Homo-oligomer: A and B are copies of this chain.
Amino acid sequence: MRRLAVLFLVLASLIRAEPAVERWGIFEAALAGPADGNPFTEVTLTATFTQGDTVHDVTGFYDGDGTYRVRFMPETTGEWRYTTHSNRPALDGRTGAFTAAPPSANNHGPVRVAHTFHFAYADGAPYRELGTTSYKWTHRPAAQEEQTLRTLATAPFNKIRMCVLPIDRPDAQRFLPFAGKMSAWDTTHPRPDFFRHLEERVGQLRDLEIEADLILFQPYSPEWGWASLPPASEERYLHYLLARLAAYRNVWWSLSNEWDFNPNKTEADWDRLFQLVQAADPYAHLRSIHNGLKLYNATLPWATHASIQNGAAVLDPERAVLYRDVYRKPIVFDEVKYEGNIAARWGQLSGEELVLRFWNGLVAGTYVGHGESFLGPPDAWLGSGGVLRGQSIARLAFLKTIMATLPPEGVDPIDKWQERRTAGKAGEFYLTYFGTDAPAAWPFVIYRDGPNDTTRDGLSFQVEIIDTWNMTVTPVPGTFTTKKLDAHTFEDVDKKSIALPGRPYLALRIRRVANSHAP
C-alpha cells in the first residue's frame, strides 16, 4: 500500500507537470506501471480523450523502465479531458485534463486531401507537395543524420520518404527495432531507443515543416526478414509504431516501397495492413503504397492518394494526367528515376531531365518527387542523406517559389485531350509549360476548360515568361484582353503575340488582372 501511495504521488506530479500543448501538437501522459513479465504484450493501455461530444480513443505504449505513455494530438483548441483504461490497476482509471492552445505560427496541422487532386493543411493553408526520398537517413551515423537535417533546412522539400526499418548491415546500426536477431526478430520486445530516435528525427522534420512519409515495409535486404514477418509480428510492429507516432502531425504512412517486389505477400495482405493502419490511426493521416512495376489499386478506399513509381509517365503531361482520371485522388509520382550518374537506368537523369519531369507533373495537376543517386563519396542522398550535389535542387527551389503563387486550391489541366501544356484555374490563372520545345514566339491564347468555363471576352491578363532552368521571371509589358477566337479559345483583342527566347524549359504564368471587366 505504501508503494502504491508513492506511485500515486508520482503520477499526480506527472499530471500536474503536463506542459502547454498547442492544437495539432502532442499531449503526452507518462504513467508509472509494472515492469515485470512482458509489459509490451501483457499490459493493455488506452485512453479516452473527450471534449464536449468529441471522443477519441487512443492507444498507449510501453516505453521501457516501468514507464507507459499515452500520446494525443488535439485537433481543436480548448480543454480536453482523458481517462485511462488498462488491465493493470496502476494504469487504469487515471484521469487528467489539459488545454490545447492555438497553434504557433508554422503549425498548420496535418496534411489532408483537398479539392480531389490536391492537398491542404488541416487549417486550410495549401500544401504544395514537393518531396524527396532518402530511404535510410535515420539509420546512419549521428553526424551524417545531423548533416541531412542541415541540408533539409535549406532545401525546398516539404516531404521526405524514409524507411522505418533498417536496410544496411546490422553492425552498422546504432539502433535496432526489436530484440532478437536477424530474421528472428522478437517483435514482442520492441526496443524503445530505436523508436525514440525515430521520433526525434520525425519531430525535427516537423520543426522544418517537412512531412515524414514513413515507409513501413520494404522488400530489400531479405536477410533482415522484414519482408517475411509472420502476420502477428507485422501487426504488433504496426500497432506499436502507430501508438508512438500517430500523434506527430507530420507523419504519412506508406505501407511499402515497391510492394510488388515482395514475393511473400499477396495484394490481400497489403489490403489487410492498410486497413489495420487506417483503424489504428485516430487522426487519419495520409496513407499510400509505392509500386515497383505493378500498381496497387489506389481506387480502394483506404488509399488516400496514389504514390506512383513510373519512369516515363512525367515525360509528358498528357501521360501524367491519365492517372488522375482513373484514381480521382491526388497523384504523387514519388519515383520518376533519379538525378545521378550510376550505371542503373533509374539513376542517371541529368538535372534538366529531372526538372522537366517536375514541371510536366505540375501542368498535369499532379506532384513529382526528387531523388539523387550520384556515385560516392559522399554517399548518395537517395540512400543515406547527407548532402545534395545535383543541378536540379536550385531549380526545384525556384519551382517552389512559382508553386507558392498558384491558386490556393491547386492547378488542374485546362482543356484536357487538346491543350496538353496548360494547367490552371479557368478564367483566373494559367501555367503553360513548353518542355523541350524552344518557341521563339507565343500568340496569346486562353483555352476554355469545357462547357462550365465562364471565361468571356474582355478579361485582362498579365503574362510573365519563366525560364525554369535559368530561374528567371520576366514580366511581359502591358496586358492582354480576351476576345473569342472559336468555341474553345480566346485570343488577344489586338492579336498580340509574345516574343520568347527560343530556349527549352520555358513556361508562362498568366494571371487575370484583378477586377478586369469587359470594356
Chain A residues at the B interface, C-beta cutoff of 8 Å: 293-295, 297-299, 310-313, 315-316, 318-319, 322-323, 325-327, 345, 416-418, 420, 450, 488
* 8 examples of A-B residue contacts, CB within 8 angstroms: A293-B450, A310-B417, A312-B318, A315-B318, A316-B318, A318-B319, A319-B319, A323-B326
- By a CB distance below 8 angstroms, the chain B residues around A319 are 316, 318-319, 322
Supposing A319-B319, A488-B345 touch, asked if A417 and B326 sit within 8 A by C-beta, the answer is no
Q: Is the CB of B345 within 8 A of A295?
A: no
Give the copy number. 2
| Chain B residue at minimum C-beta to C-beta distance from A312 | B417
The docked-state distance in angstroms from the alpha carbon of A312 to that of B315 is: 15
Instruction: Point out the residues of chain B lying under 8 angstroms from A318, CB to CB.
Output: 312-313, 315-316, 319
Contacts of A312 in B (CB 8 A): 318, 416-418, 420
Looking at chain A's contact residues, the main secondary structure is: loop
A327 B325 Cβ-Cβ under 8 A: no
Give the complex CA separation of A327 and B297 in angstroms: 8
- Which of B294, B311, B316 contacts A417 (CB under 8 A)? B311
Which of A312, A318, A323, A327 has the most B CB atoms < 10 Å from its CB? Answer: A312
Residue of B nearest to A488 (CB): B345
Enumerate chain B residues within 8 angstroms of A295, measured Cβ to Cβ.
325-326
Given A322-B313, A323-B326, residue A418 in contact with residue B345 (CB < 8 A): yes
Chain B, Cβ-Cβ closest to A451: B293
Q: Give the complex CA separation of A68 and B309 in angstroms.
A: 57
For the complex, what is the distance from the CA of A311 to the CA of B299, rounded to whole Å? 23
In the docked arrangement, what's the CA distance between A450 and B293, Å? 10
In the assembled complex, the Cα of A297 lies from the Cα of B297 at a distance in Å of 10
A398 CB → nearest B CB, Å: 27
Q: In the assembled complex, which residues on chain B have CB atoms less than 8 Å from the CB atom of A294?
A: 325
Residue of B nearest to A296 (CB): B326
